[in-house]
């Protein structure tokens, strides 16, 4: 299958591209290095340097023999999108090409505007390109569990039947997000659902929880193949960030009561979920939605787990409770269904102590590189 990975430079994009080639697919990646540019502007560095996409593609070719074709440019610009779709007309598009961070989207007006414009226009251009160049292609879109927020009812897999005053219909599950970034993902779903109905395109919208981890089957051979790994307040996901804080001796930053519960998954599972979705496409005219997570934890549970693993490794891990800079429920009901990907064949990699220990051991090698100033900046939502 010819698969185009948009946002191929990101934390998940590059590992996905390698994984898809290793599983027999022909792959191209596109990126404009927006995440790297924003990290530079905001003075936050990843834990270690990551070569650019052309260099990583060369390295991967040397190690594996597989090709990954690289397109560098801005997917909000139609002429670039057109060029890619003409040169590499895909059977499937994996769309990660969005500004991916909630805290960045809440930083200031410019960051909010960039997030809105970038995320919406890339999604729109992907839809228009499919319509024009490959109407039978399948769009695998990365959404987020954050689209649902934390409702007081069970979270279904994308859709809900509503009985109301004696009549009945099926609707998108209600969406109500906790950041502008997450809200742009709601808008993406609005847009995809509209064009699925109008143009009969095929779409899988993956409601993904926060991802953690570094290691995949494809990147064990060379650290230069590891993903771009942020541990700062802006771009670091919580488990990755807490592991770095543990190593740095920076007490784990729990916001408010710490009862915030989310559905998490290992980066290996992200790759499998995306591959399984691509290999089992949605029907024409179908918006298929999967909740992409394998287990749920509260922030308090995560902090205690990492503290416990630290103890075992002889690292003393502190936990501090901070006034919550975000506006969110700190204790809430959370019961998301997530059976669709299991039915497609997903075999979850759970968050064991061993998984955490291995990540911690790796981070310890980079301890001297950790910049404590970027761990917590108190970016306020309100």
What does the binding site for its own copies look like in residue numbers (CB under 8 A)?
A: 78, 106, 109, 112-113, 116-117, 120-121, 124, 128, 132, 151-154, 160, 162, 164-165, 167-169, 171-172, 174-177, 180, 183, 186-187, 190-191, 193-194, 197-199, 327, 333, 381-382
Which is nearer to its own copies, 180 or 360 (by Cβ)? 180
Q: In what order do the strands lie in the sheet with 68-72?
A: 68-72, 26-31, 2-6, 92-95, 138-144, 202-208, 287-292
Residue pair 305/356 in contact (Cβ under 8 Å)? The answer is yes
Establish whether 144 is a catalytic residue. yes
Collect all residues with Cβ–Cβ distance below 8 Å to 307 and sequence separation of at least 6: 246, 252, 317, 319
CB of 223 vs its own copies, minimal distance in Å: 39
Q: From the candidates 11, 123, 141, 185, which is the catalytic residue?
A: 185
Q: Using the 8-state DSSP alphabet, how is residue 155 labeled?
A: B
- Of the candidates 233, 279, 4, 227, the residue with the CA atom closest to the CA atom of residue 129: 4
Q: In whole angstroms, what is the distance from residue 376 CA to residue 160 CA?
A: 38
Residue pair 375/230 in contact (Cβ under 8 Å)? The answer is no
Establish whether 237 is a catalytic residue. no
CB of 163 vs its own copies, minimal distance in Å: 8
Q: From the candidates 123, 144, 216, 237, which is the catalytic residue?
A: 144
CB of 85 vs its own copies, minimal distance in Å: 13
CB of 374 vs its own copies, minimal distance in Å: 24
The Cβ of residue 136 has, within 10 Å, a number of other Cβ atoms equal to 11
- Chain centroid to Cα 358, Å, comes to 21
Q: From the candidates 11, 104, 181, 264, which is the catalytic residue?
A: 181
Q: In whole angstroms, what is the distance from residue 259 CA to residue 5 CA?
A: 35
- Chain centroid to Cα 357, Å, comes to 22
CB of 68 vs its own copies, minimal distance in Å: 29
Which is nearer to its own copies, 5 or 111 (by Cβ)? 111
Collect all residues with Cβ–Cβ distance below 8 Å to 96 and sequence separation of at least 6: 5, 6, 7, 8, 10, 12, 13, 16, 142
Which is nearer to its own copies, 172 or 313 (by Cβ)? 172
Which is nearer to its own copies, 61 or 380 (by Cβ)? 380
- Of the candidates 229, 182, 238, the residue with the CA atom closest to the CA atom of residue 39: 229
Which is nearer to its own copies, 197 or 365 (by Cβ)? 197
Which is nearer to its own copies, 164 or 316 (by Cβ)? 164
- B/e letters for 311-349, b = 16+ CB within 10 Å, e = fewer, are eeeeeebebeeeebbbeebbeeebebebebbeeeebebe
Q: In whole angstroms, what is the distance from residue 61 CA to residue 350 CA?
A: 30
Which is nearer to its own copies, 173 or 229 (by Cβ)? 173
Establish whether 204 is a catalytic residue. no
Residue pair 29/21 in contact (Cβ under 8 Å)? The answer is no
CB of 198 vs its own copies, minimal distance in Å: 6
CB of 238 vs its own copies, minimal distance in Å: 20
Q: In whole angstroms, what is the distance from residue 191 CA to residue 42 CA?
A: 30
Positions marked catalytic: 144, 181, 185
């Amino acid at each position: 299958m010819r698969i185009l990975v948009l946002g191929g430079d990101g934390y998940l994009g590059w590992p996905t591209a390698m994984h898809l080639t290793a599983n027999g697919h022909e792959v191209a990646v596109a990126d404009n290095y927006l995440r790297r540019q924003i990290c530079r502007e905001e003075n936050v560095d990843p834990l270690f340097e990551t070569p650019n996409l052309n260099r990583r593609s060369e390295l991967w070719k040397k190690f594996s023999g597989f090709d990954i074709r690289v397109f560098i440019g801005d997917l909000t610009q139609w002429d670039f999108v057109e060029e890619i779709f003409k040169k590499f007309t895909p059977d499937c598009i994996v769309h990660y090409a969005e500004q991916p961070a909630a805290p960045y989207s809440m930083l200031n007006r410019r960051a909010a505007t960039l997030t809105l414009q970038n995320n919406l226009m890339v999604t729109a251009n992907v839809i228009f390109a499919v319509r024009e160049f490959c109407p039978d292609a399948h769009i695998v879109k990365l959404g987020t569990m954050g689209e649902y927020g934390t409702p007081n009812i069970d979270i279904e897999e994308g859709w809900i039947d509503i009985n109301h005053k004696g009549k009945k219909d099926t609707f998108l599950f209600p969406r109500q997000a906790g950041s502008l970034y997450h809200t742009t993902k709601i808008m993406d779903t609005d847009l995809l659902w509209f064009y699925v109905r109008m143009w009969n395109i095929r779409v899988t919208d993956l409601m993904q929880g926060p991802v953690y981890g570094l290691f995949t089957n494809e990147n064990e051979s060379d650290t230069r193949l590891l993903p771009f790994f942020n541990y700062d307040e802006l771009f670091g996901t919580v488990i990755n960030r807490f592991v770095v804080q543990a190593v740095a001796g920076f007490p784990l930053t729990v916001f408010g009561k710490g009862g915030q519960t989310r559905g998490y998954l290992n980066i290996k599972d992200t790759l499998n979920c995306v591959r399984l979705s691509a290999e089992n496409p949605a029907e024409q005219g179908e918006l298929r939605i999967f909740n992409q997570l394998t287990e749920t934890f509260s922030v308090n549970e995560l902090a205690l787990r990492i503290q416990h693993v630290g103890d075992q490794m002889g690292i003393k891990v502190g936990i501090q409770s901070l006034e919550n800079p975000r506006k969110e429920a700190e204790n809430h009901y959370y019961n998301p269904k997530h059976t669709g990907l299991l039915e497609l064949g997903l075999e979850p990699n759970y968050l064991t102590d061993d998984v955490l220990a291995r990540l911690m051991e790796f981070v310890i090698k980079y301890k001297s590189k950790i910049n404590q100033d970027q761990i917590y900046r108190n970016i306020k939502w309100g």
